[in-house]
Amino acid sequence: MNALGTHLLLELKDCNREVLDDLALLQNVLVSAAEEAGATVLAKHFHHFAPQGVSGAVLIAESHLTVHTWPEHGYAALDIFTCGDKVNAELAAQILIDKLQSKDPAIMNIRRGVLVEQPV
Amino acid sequence: MNALGTHLLLELKDCNREVLDDLALLQNVLVSAAEEAGATVLAKHFHHFAPQGVSGAVLIAESHLTVHTWPEHGYAALDIFTCGDKVNAELAAQILIDKLQSKDPAIMNIRRGVLVEQPV
């Protein structure tokens, strides 16, 4: 049974707290990770919260990447959702872990859209 | 141990296939579900694919909602990621299931950012 999508949920603890509060840097990191992994970026939107924290979404032709950061906890939640065989989601994950300098990363890999079609 | 975020992953099978291919309707459904659940919408972007299918992301002050549809399979993958106590993510999920008319919905509930802080 094949899945339509691959969804990586990244739990990144013990990150560089300055990186987690830098909107421009995070936007560049997510877009670069998407492109280096072979994705086509369609749109992006990032928001900085007061007093701290960033949320962002990058819509790609192959699904999406998102980030939400809590600099006060050194923690970021990232998602990489891809479909098709073109994008190397694991490479994108490794880039994100490296750029956020997480010393305690964890990845959940969830298959989305596992369908059992009825024969016609 | 509290979690910083609640992440609902909706696997919606056997949906209304016309709804799954209607960008304007899906955008309205996601924004309405977010607002009815108590969220504050910051930005949204939706894209229609040729020959069919829609992807969309709604960034909210409390994190995000996303959708990816495969009308040819009657399937949609939706995510509702919220933080704080203000947003009723389960209500948003029920609205999405109803509006997409899924006859075979499933929800995974994943706690994001379960942190054990070291005492100072």
Let me know if B77 is exposed, middle or buried by CB neighbors in 10 A (0-12, 13-18, 19+).
buried
Q: What is the ipTM of this complex?
A: 0.95
Q: List the domain range (segments joined by +) for residue A62.
A: 3-113
- Is residue A36 in a domain? yes
- Is residue B118 in a domain? no
pLDDT recorded at residue A119: 63
Kindly report, residue by residue over A66-108, the tens digit of the pLDDT.
Answer: 999 999 999 999 999 999 999 999 999 999 999 999 999 999 9
Cα Dmax for chain B: 57
- Is residue A118 in a domain? no
pLDDT recorded at residue A120: 60
- Is residue A53 in a domain? yes
Alpha-carbon span B51 to A63, nearest angstrom:
16
- Is residue A93 in a domain? yes
Identify the residue whose tokens are 């009815």: B36
| Banded pLDDT at A117 (limits 50, 70, 90) | low
What pairs with residue A23 in β-bridges?
A: none
C-beta atoms of A61 and B49 within 8 A: yes
A84 CB-side CA count, 13 A: 13
Alpha-carbon span A118 to A47, nearest angstrom:
44
Kindly state the average pLDDT of the residues A20-42: 98
pLDDT recorded at residue B39: 98
**Is B103 near chain A, with CB under 8 Å?**
no
How near does any CA of chain A get to the CA of B104, in Å?
Answer: 11
**Is A14 near chain B, with CB under 8 Å?**
no
With CA atoms as reference, the chain B residue closest to A49 would be: B61
**Chains A, B: CB contacts under 8 A, how many?**
101
Q: Is B85 helix (H, G, I), strand (E, B) or coil?
A: coil
C-beta atoms of A9 and B68 within 8 A: no
What does the block give as tokens for B53?
């299918």
B38's enclosing H/E stretch is none
Q: How many domains does chain A have?
A: 1
- A68 catalytic per annotation: yes
Contact B92, B65 (CB under 8 A): yes
- Helices then strands, each counted (H, E), chain A: 3, 6
B88's enclosing H/E stretch is none
pLDDT recorded at residue A116: 83
- Is residue A120 in a domain? no
pLDDT recorded at residue A1: 66
C-beta atoms of A45 and B42 within 8 A: yes
Q: Which CATH number fits the domain that encloses residue A71?
A: 3.60.90.10
Q: Of B5, B11, B68, which has the smallest distance from its Cβ to A77's Cβ? A: B5
Query: Quick one: which of A118, A90, A5 has its CA closest to B77?
Result: A5
Phi then psi dihedrals of residue B32, to 5 deg: -65, -45
- A32 catalytic per annotation: no
Averaged over successive runs of 10 residues, the pLDDT of chain B (120 residues) comes to 93 98 98 98 98 98 98 98 96 98 98 81
- Is residue B119 in a domain? no
- Is residue B64 in a domain? yes
